Amino acid sequence: QVQLRESGGGNVQAAGSLMLSCAASGSIGSINAMRWYRQAPGKQRELVAVITSGGSTNYADSVKGRFTISRDNAKNTVYLQMNSLKPEDTAVYYCNADIAGAWDSAIRRYWGQGTQVTVSS
C-alpha cells in the first residue's frame, strides 16, 4: 500500500554536505511524524531527527547544529540536510513515518529501505 524510499546518499569527504530525501508513495491519507534514523556498522539503530506534522523538530545531540530535518507535505517528502559531515556520521540512514492510508484511517509506522552515507577522513 504505502512505501517510503530514501535517496541522496553517497560518499563524501569530511566537512562536506549531503541532502537526503524520503518520499512516501501509495494510498496515503495523512502523514503524522516523520523521522530519520541511522545505523552505523556494528552499532544499534539510533534516532537522528524527528519532525511532527506541525513542524516541530528534535535532534540527537551528536547532530545538533549540523543537520536539519524538514518536510514538504504537498510532496509527502521529508528531508535531512547534513552539513559539516564527520566520519562518525557514516551509516545507513533510514526514514520512518506514521501514516494513515487513504482507504483505512488506522495509522501505521512505515520504514524505508535505507540509503548509505559514507564520510571519509
> What is the DSSP secondary-structure string of 10-61?
EEEETT--EEEEEEEEESEEEEEEEEEEEE-TTS--EEEEEE-TT--EEE-T
Give the pLDDT score at 12: 98
Cell of 93: 540512514
Name the β-bridge partners of 10: 117
Find the mean pLDDT for residues 21-36: 97
Residue 87's pLDDT band (cuts 50, 70, 90) = very high
Amino acid (one-letter) located at 86: K
**Closest C-alpha to 6, from 25, 22, 26:** 22
Through-space distance between the first and last CA atoms of the chain, rounded to whole angstroms? 41
C-alpha grid cell for residue 81? 540536510
At 1, is the pLDDT very low, low, confident or very high (cuts 50, 70, 90)?
confident
The 10s digit of each residue's pLDDT in 43-65 is 999 999 999 999 999 999 999 99
Asked if the model's pLDDT at residue 89 lies above 90, the reply is yes
120's CB contacts (< 8 A; 6+ apart) are 11, 12, 13, 14, 87
Q: Is the pLDDT of residue 75 over 90?
A: yes
3-state helix, strand, coil in the chain (%, to 5): 5, 60, 35
